[in-house]
Structure 1
Amino acid sequence: MSGAARRWAYALLGLLAAVAGTAYAAVPLLRWRQVLTPSWDNAIFSQALISYASGELPTATIKGPGFALLGDHFSPAVAVLTPLWWAWPDGRVLLLAQAVLLAFSMVVIGRAAVQRLGAVPGLAMSVAYAGSFAIAAAVAVDFHEVTLAVPLLALAGAAWLRDDIRAVIGWSLPLLLVKEDLGATVAAVGLVLLLDRRRRHPRAGTALLVGGLVAAALTVLVVVPALGQGGYDYLAGFEGSASTTSGAVGLDGLTAGWGTKLTTLLVTLGSVAFLALLSPWALLLLPTLAWRFAGDNATYWGTDWHYSLVLAPVLAVAAVDALERLRGRGRPRGPAAAAARVAPLAAVGATLGLAWGGPYATLLDPGSYATTARTADARTVQATLPRGSVVESDIGLITRLVADHRTWWVGTAPAGLDPDYVVVDQVYGGWSGPVDPVAFAEEKHAGTAYDLLLRAGDFAVARRVSSPDAPGADARSTAASPRGAR
């Protein structure tokens, strides 16, 4: 490939990345605008950044009084986003950061693909990556810490393709700070370096394999329990119902739901036209798929949410490597030549097929850009709540309140908190039926009186009008201001 062709390919790649990044930002921002909150997660990471911005370890009152986030999931890498919070203390800054990180990973993978495969097939693989079902599912559910792993995996994979072992190690090790399970992925990188005949590095491979496993074990069994409640709660999901008392790992989760699991495998591998199966880099898929399929949480088994996000850059790098292997060192012939020509287009076709009707479809719907009555009602509620007040909220408005209110979730706020306001979303708040915010607040916070301050469409706000003189009133002042809460 000539220098001019490569420059044009890189320029087009930059344009494609800008378009992709815009889509990655627009999907969650439009959902934010329409007050369609998928979960409490974005609010939790916002509270983490509030803590880091104050120079404290991350806590989240949304998960409970003084809840230590590093004792739940070990993800200190989130702290690198703190300067963004200083610049704009708003939950939407996380959505923009996620879009930039994902678009950057596309540039990394795209440049590697163009360098290894040439302009046209390289750009085709870039488009296939940009439209990955895993990325689409992740941006539809707001920010999660694993987004930070995506550019790291892209950079490590690109370094592996060019056999730059120091860069592979340098970009793999920070994964240990993104989430506790990624130590196993670091170990998988080491396994690839041990087994791949083309790029074999025994000493580095052994170091990453052993170091990754040891780091994962220490994080799960020592670090997280020390920072949290004395254990790692997510291990319970790998225990069978008949074996929870003994602590032995059961088979309930492993043997259940294989219809869903097989569909996930087909979608995952099919998203790159099954090319990843021809590359040893695909070994990096195994740790994430293993913990997802071994547990009894059915949410992990499917293709929704963000659980496949870390697989996207792995699949892309493995597919590029597979195409390079199909081509061989000379001019490929026969079936290998046909596969090498058709596979990039097949990957693009698979991506478009999986993306059709997904989150990106909302970008083509004019109604997605309208200011709805729900949007206006949410703004009315927010304007009513004084800055810095203690608010107990359901899922509906929780992501919009954490930046300038001391916010608790209705499911974990303690009795005796006596919040200033209780906010209810009758439609998307997660309630099983209609709820009276005044009755709910007075039942939960016994001895404290509330009245109805506001009804605005789907939303209702109860306001505290009196508190008991009992010790519960004191509990409010201490419980409502854990480290990092604002």
Structure 2
Amino acid sequence: MGYSLLGLVKFYTFRTGIYDLVIFDQGVRGYANFGPPLSFVKGNWQELGSAFSLLGDHFSPILALLAPLYWIHNGPETLIVAQAALLSLAVVPFWTYVNRVLGARAAYLLGIAYLLSWPVAEAVNFHFHEYAFVPLITAILFERLQARRRSHVLAAAVALLMVKEDLALFVIGLGVSLLFVHEWRRTGTVMIATGVGFLWLTSNVIMPAFGGDPARYWYYSEWGRTPGAAVTRIMTRPQEILSVLSTPDTKLWTLLLLIAPLLFLPLLSPYVLAPAALLAERMLATDPGAAGWWGTRYHYNAAIVMALCCAGVDGAVRLRRAVQGRRLNWFTPTWTVVTAVIAVGIVPFFAFGNVFMPNWYKAGPRSAAAVEAMRQIPDDVLVEAASAVGPNMSARTKVVAWAAKTAARPERAPWILADLKEKQPHFDSLQDQAADVELLRQRGYHEIFSQDGYVVLFDPVSVG
């Protein structure tokens, strides 16, 4: 409930954004209408008003499971609540996993540590992402692995592959870890082969078939121009890995914040190879475009937090076995208490801490103007919108991000809702935003609303 509150308050006080909330809202609405997951936000960079399939951007067919929820409520709020529920439900199989080896007290304490963990809070703070499915599926996978249900483990691995193509790296990493356990070697081999084949198939066949570009998110230019070249260099020049992992130092701080709250116990488990594979994907990136991958913000760390928790539990069990009879029986109970205390102590420094701040619930001074500006936009029209108000119109209009005319995309939407007081993602400055509004006026757009920085314009030719 707390995470639903966090997300919904941000939505209703205009603190969400077009990226990525509107993108997913448009895509899931497509599934709900028994069509493809098309996004006008993604398509707008190719042609005005065109829709681009989310399956060409990332292979995430699992989003179709959310479609029936849109029959109950058709809007981004549905995604916000669904994400909170998915992230929270992960604690149920995780509790079973911990209880089986460490007891109920430890299961409750570590369950609290997961629920209050900063990666979960930051994922919710970023409004919505398909990674919301990952902790739940991961917890089920590790619980089924612990229960020695081979077919269930493989089914959970397949479910992870349906979340996003790069989860193949997670499956590969887990498969490698299983090679160290004799009775699981065959399963590990199957997972490695499946992960490698799936990653190649989605990147080179499936996503391009939906209009995607395999090089769209290639941020490894210092390693090579292609995956093969990059892997070859990494394998032949491993001494460069440490330099890349520590540049910038944001990467090191993120790694520390991920494993230190668990007192580094995940490092004692071979299962750490699964989240490590996803971390390598992010931290070995060299280009500035990948800067969002390296820090603690956004949703990326939510994909690995549950795996790290499960690896931490396995590490604790291994440590207990190694020191059995050496009067260290106090360590595991102490570890679970300390881990829970650290999780609670970190809360104020990350997004979930806002829930406990009374002033955070208050709408900003421009909220009334935002509401009135949105009221000027008719239903079912294509509108270039300022980022903060775009999600609140997504259920009834075709929202795209407000952006200036370019040579590649000279057309403009018939309706524009601009914001002259808050910098927008596709402009370099407020001055550029004001200049774009003036250019639109010169092109014949009529201004029908202007208040507190919000400006609504429409093109009478295209509208008429």
Tell me if TM exceeds 0.5.
Answer: yes
Q: 1:424 to 1:372 in 2, by over 3 A?
A: closer
Aligned partner of 1:359 in structure 2 is 351
Mapped partners of 1:417, 1:61: distance in 2: 13
CA–CA distance in structure 1, aligned partners of residues 24 and 185 of structure 2: 39
Secondary structure of the corresponding residue to residue 28 of structure 1: helix
1:84 Cα deviation after fit:
1.0
> Using a 3 Å threshold, how does the CA distance of structure 1 residues 437 and 419 change in structure 2: closer, same or farther?
farther
Q: State whether structure 2 residue 209 is matched by structure 1 residue 226.
A: yes
Deviations 1:197-238 (A, max 9, x none): 5xx322222111111111111111222122214533112x11
- Give me the whole-angstrom Cα distance separating, in 1, the residues matched to 2:185 and 2:227: 39
The equivalent residue for 1:421 is 416
Match of 2:320 in 1: 327
Partner residue of 1:265 out of 255, 280, 295: 255
**Partner residue of 1:300?**
293
Q: 1:240 aligns with which of 193, 218, 222?
A: 222
- Is residue 24 of structure 2 the alignment partner of residue 45 of structure 1? yes
Does structure 1 residue 211 correspond to structure 2 residue 201? no
Which residue pairs with 1:154 in the alignment?
Answer: 139
Q: How does 1:51-70 map to 2 (within 5 A)?
A: 51-63=30-42, 64=44, 65-70=50-55
Task: Name the counterpart of 1:9.
Answer: none
Corresponding residue number in structure 2 for 1:283: 273
Once the two structures are superposed, residues 104-163 of structure 1 have per-residue CA deviations (whole angstroms, 9 ceiling, x without a partner) of 001221232123211212211111111111111111111001111221111001111222
Q: Kindly indicate whether the alpha-carbon contact (under 8 Å) linking 1:72 and 1:232 is maintained by their aligned counterparts in 2.
A: no
Q: Tell me how far apart the structure 1 counterparts of residues 186 and 369 of structure 2 sit (CA, whole Å).
A: 61
Amino acid at match of 1:307: Y
**TM-score in terms of structure 1 length:** 0.84
CA drift at 1:247? 8.9
Q: Deviations over 1:228-275 (max 9, x none)?
A: 14533112x11129x559994387993662522221111111121211
| C-alpha contact 2:144 2:150 (8 A) present in aligned 1 | yes
| 1:327-364 deviation per Cα after TM superposition (whole angstroms, max 9, x unaligned) | 339x9443642321211112113222332332122111
- SS of residue paired to 2:460: strand
The CA deviation at 1:284 is 0.9
What does residue range 36-185 of structure 1 map to in structure 2 within 5 Å?
A: 36-38=15-17, 40-63=19-42, 64=44, 65-185=50-170
Query: 1:92: how far off?
Result: 1.0
* Count of aligned pairs: 442
**Alignment partners' CA distance in 2, 1:229 and 1:119:** 47
CA distance in 2, matches of 1:378, 1:206: 55
Aligned pair partner of 2:450 in 449, 455, 472: 455
Q: 1:129 to 1:360 in 2, by over 3 A?
A: same
Query: Which sits farther off after the overlay, 382-391 or 172-181?
Result: 382-391
SS at match of 1:121: helix
- In structure 2, what is the Cα distance between the partners aligned to 1:38 and 1:420? 18
In structure 2, the CA distance between the partners of 1:444 and 1:287, relative to structure 1 (3 Å rule), is: farther
* CA distance in 2 between partners of 1:359 and 1:421 (Å): 31
> Which residue pairs with 1:473 in the alignment?
none
| Gap change, CA 1:327 and 1:435, over 3 Å in 2 | same
Distance 2:226 2:155 in 1: 42
Identity of aligned residues (%): 27
Deviates more, 1:448-457 or 1:276-285: 448-457
Equivalences for 1:344-355 in 2 at 5 Å? 344-355=336-347
Instruction: Determine if contact 1:71/1:229 at 8 Å carries over to the other structure.
Output: yes
Q: What stretches of structure 1 of length at least 5 have no aligned partner?
A: 1-21, 468-475, 478-486
Verify the 8 A CA contact 2:348 2:354 in the aligned structure 1. no
**Uncovered stretches (5+) of structure 2, i.e. residues with no partner:** 45-49, 234-239
Aligned amino acid, residue 216 of structure 1: L
What's the CA shift for 1:316? 1.4
- Code of the residue aligned with 2:436 in structure 1: it is F
